[in-house]
Amino acid sequence: MNPDLTQLKFDSDGLIPAIIQDHANGEVLMVAYMNTEALEKTLETGLAHFFSRSRQKIWQKGESSGHVQEVKEILFDCDADALVVKADQKVAACHTGHRSCFYRTLGRGEREQGEVLFDARSVYEGAGTREILDRLYGVIMERKKSPGENSYTSILLAGGAESIGKKLVEESLELTLAAKEGDKEHTVREVADLIYHAWVILGLVDVKPDEVLEELSRRFGKSGLEEKAERKKD
């Protein structure tokens, strides 16, 4: 069965909020957003997929931890602008290790509820570092959509490829000089500057970081000479 997704009302960003609920006891586990692709992937695989606004990408719940959500039923409200996803949550939903993301009580006597079910530090070790490039891209795309008067990123984007390209050349030269001097700290800073400006170029032409990573993955295991030869054939 192929549900008619056109009856749903996605917002101006193409998103719809989804409340994730334990199908067995009704506990609210988390709230996230889906776009059409995430919803289609969820229906296709039976595993919850969402759209990250900060990383500007589709993600599967549990892709890092293994704590997936097996979807049992999806409901939509009378206005068709919100979803309730009833799921079988493996281990826990919250990245802190709690079963639910809603584990704190607001107000006087604020306290945490429920036990911590796993060691978040060991499960997500390195995940923050891996996600930083996606988060950077998310910020760049937000600046592209809503330019800020005092935003350097917005100024770069407004200048177009030529303007950003000049900065890339400049940063490449500074990186080369830092490496030539053997200054590790300076080299780190210049690599960060170079990556940032390269990511602005990606945002300008709507290329996602995953596409770059996929290209690097395709090249992995090949010699540089082999890879260059293949490009010449294309």
State the pTM of this model: 0.66
The tens-digit pLDDT sequence of the chain (234 residues) is 578 999 999 999 999 999 999 999 999 999 999 999 999 999 999 999 999 998 889 999 998 788 999 999 999 999 999 999 999 999 999 988 899 999 988 876 656 677 788 776 666 665 666 678 888 988 998 899 889 888 999 999 999 999 999 999 999 999 999 999 999 999 999 999 999 999 999 999 999 888 888 898 888 776 555 655 565 555
> Does domain 5-125 fall into CATH 3.10.20.810?
yes
Fold match, 5-125 / 128-233? no
Sequence ranges of the domains in the chain:
5-125, 128-233
Backbone angles phi, psi at 87, to 5 degrees: -140, 160
The CATH H-level superfamily of 128-233 is MazG-like (1.10.287.1080)
pLDDT at position 113 is: 73
Q: What is the pLDDT of residue 120?
A: 67
Query: Residue 59: what pLDDT?
Result: 93
Largest CA distance in the chain: 69
User: How high is the pLDDT of residue 198?
Assistant: 96
62: left (phi over 0), alpha (psi -120 to 50) or beta: left
What pLDDT, on the 0 to 100 scale, is given for residue 64? 78
